[in-house]
Amino acid sequence: MTKEQRNNFKKTTSVWQDTVHLPEFRALDKDIETETLIVGGGITGITAAFRLASAGVKVTLIEAARLASGTTGYTTAKITAQHGLIYHELAAHFGAEKAGLYYQANQEALHWMEQTITENNVSCGFEKKPAVVYAATDQEAAAVEKEKAAYDRLGIPGDLKQETGLSLPAVNALSMPDQAQFHPLMYLHYLIAELSRMGVPVYEQTMAVELEQEKPPVIRTRQGFRIHCRNVLICSHFPFYDPRFYFSRMFPERSYLIACETDATVPDGMYLSAGDPKRSVRSLKLSGKNMVLIGGENHKTGRGEDTEIHFDRLSGFADSLLGENRRIARWSAQDYTTLDKVPYIGPISANQPHLFVAAGFRKWGMTTGTLAAGLLTDLVLEQDNPYVELFSPSRFEADPMVGRFLIENAEVAGNLIKGKIGQEEKSIADLGNDQGAIVSLNETRAGVYKQPDGKVVIVDTTCPHLGCEVNWNQSERTWDCPCHGSRFRANGEVIDGPALKPLKQIYLQNESVAGDQKTPL
Ligand code: FES
């Protein structure tokens, strides 16, 4: 690896972001009115805006940062209804009919995308591939066999084999034919161009922070402007308005991806390990290079070890899979999983029929985001949709939700307490340039990042959402909250999650102060 390649590999930018520049839009700078407001410019929000505008609805799309700069820009970009081993579990929990609907909804999303791409000649590397889940142990193989039995019961096409096609030891593998992969930002580039063509107003750097009035809805943005509308679709990864305590009904996970250029024969499917450690593999042809994307290493946000270790482990896996290879990019993403693993898509609550939410895609946002856009479009247009009940955020299935709910919230309570009482061993002097850590500062716990030029930024590590203690993520230079997944830049600005306010900056008594966000120590 050359020095330049090594430095590039240290950045955490996806190959998607590196190769497509999406059009830019200005921030909202006045009060406006619209029929349907869409909050969140990822695949769900963009697709919903496209579908609603195509149906003649007056739509406005706002995004807190840049379009597709959240999880959509950091995906594996597999378009599939094979979401790991899920159908046996869904059938046991929801019954065969709903498990079948889950498959059908995802397949429909795949077909809608394929049709859109084909009919409009969208150049986005769309390729049909089988999706394959493989077992590395006898125990995993038994789970894969159960999944195949569920496929058979539900009428899902699938093929159980004793090998994977990958140069890895595997006991068995279950493939689902005719799934697909693509370049997500090339695809969204087309949809965004269509929004412009249809005259849909799009505002970036425009964060919704408050539902000021419910009937009819009035949304206030961080800059203080108001948006009056009839319907609101909250497609922002985590709902900014949370009357149903979504933060306690979803748990956040981070996962990691590396892109490796290789001369080895590239595997023909899209692979996922059945057990842990999770490994995801797919091929990619980009800029004349043969690449393989390798992902995995999931962990709860803010609760991982040194995040660099996750990339090292994926690199080791790449070496054993591909032999000689050149790592050219690495990145990570955050996803939320609901308590019963089925996303929340629909009215935010039974008595708020004009406020809709789409969240909890469990890493399968390409199909799930697309199906959510279709379902929300039908709800806004008051058209029938067969998936309303399955994805309803108001559903309550007692088992296993309650158990998971209690475990998740006990862990949260633990993090609230643990973070406050720990003694920090590090001091600012222990940090090298471009390093961060929680340190003891005048006997107070503080988050410190020493910038590449040696300047120090200090933040209060108390998460402004509900008061848990954030942890440092060295590979992304962020502060991550272990409770509900809020993430902040090194200087405390909000990136993601339920927190809507930044971490407080702290200054030392002898430091000159700029800005009123800073608190003296
Ligand atoms: Fe809820 Fe931090 S995200 S306390």
Residues 17 and 128: their CA atoms lie apart, in Å, by 23
Average of per-residue pLDDT across 452-472: 93
Q: Are 26 and 160 in contact (CB under 8 A)?
A: no
The residue nearest atom 3 of ligand 1, judged by CA position, is 484
CB count, 10 Å around CB of 97? 10
CATH classification for the domain delimited by 428-514, as one of 2.30.30.90, 3.40.1030.10, 2.102.10.10, 2.60.40.3470: 2.102.10.10
Strand order in the sheet with 494-496: 471-473, 478-480, 487-489, 494-496
Secondary structure E strands in 339-374:
344-347, 355-359
Cα-based distances in Å from 180 to 124, 156, 160, 204: 12, 16, 19, 30
Q: What is the pLDDT of residue 404?
A: 55
State the alpha helices, DSSP H only, in 96-199: 96-119, 138-154, 184-197
DSSP-derived 3-state class of residue 490 = coil
pTM of the model: 0.91
Residues 455 and 505: their CA atoms lie apart, in Å, by 14
Q: Are 340 and 400 in contact (CB under 8 A)?
A: yes
- Percent of all residues in the chain with a pLDDT value above 90, rounded to a whole number: 76
What's the token pair of residue 136?
């590395």
Between helix 96-119 and helix 87-94 the angle, nearest 10°, is 130
CB count, 10 Å around CB of 456? 15
Confidence check: pLDDT of 421 > 70: no
Residues 101 and 214: their CA atoms lie apart, in Å, by 32
Ligand 1 centroid – CA 311 distance (Å): 26
Confidence check: pLDDT of 380 > 90: yes
The residue nearest atom 4 of ligand 1, judged by CA position, is 466
Ligand 1 centroid – CA 277 distance (Å): 27
Q: Mind listing the pLDDT tens digit for each residue in 114-141?
A: 999 999 999 999 999 999 999 999 999 9
Q: What confidence category does residue 420 fall into, taking pLDDT thresholds of 50, 70 and 90?
A: low
Q: Determine the residue of 468, 478, 480 to mutate for testing ligand 1's pocket, defined as the one with the most ligand atoms within 8 A of the Cβ atom.
A: 468
What's the token pair of residue 168?
């890895």
Residues 28 and 205: their CA atoms lie apart, in Å, by 8
Ligand 1 centroid – CA 301 distance (Å): 11
Confidence check: pLDDT of 515 > 50: no
Average of per-residue pLDDT across 83-109: 97
Ligand 1 centroid – CA 412 distance (Å): 9
Q: Residues near ligand 1 with C-beta < 6 Å?
A: 247, 463, 465-468, 481, 483-486, 497-499
- So where are the chain's domains? 29-75+201-248+341-396, 428-514
Q: What is the pLDDT of residue 249?
A: 87
Confidence check: pLDDT of 22 > 80: yes
- What is the Rg, in whole angstroms, of the alpha carbon atoms belonging to the chain? 23
Q: Are 355 and 344 in contact (CB under 8 A)?
A: no
Average of per-residue pLDDT across 192-207: 98
Ligand 1 centroid – CA 465 distance (Å): 5
Ligand 1 centroid – CA 265 distance (Å): 44
First to last CA, the chain: 44
DSSP-derived 3-state class of residue 168 = coil
Ligand 1 centroid – CA 287 distance (Å): 40
Instruction: Fill in the DSSP letter of residue 246.
Output: G
Q: What confidence category does residue 7 fall into, taking pLDDT thresholds of 50, 70 and 90?
A: low
Mean pLDDT of the chain: 90
- CA 481 to ligand 1: nearest atom: 2
- CA 484 to ligand 1: nearest atom: 3
CB count, 10 Å around CB of 425? 10
Instruction: Fill in the DSSP letter of residue 98.
Output: H
Q: Which residue has the tokens 């999650």?
A: 497
- CA 486 to ligand 1: nearest atom: 3
Confidence check: pLDDT of 416 > 80: no
What's the CATH class of domain 29-75+201-248+341-396?
alpha beta
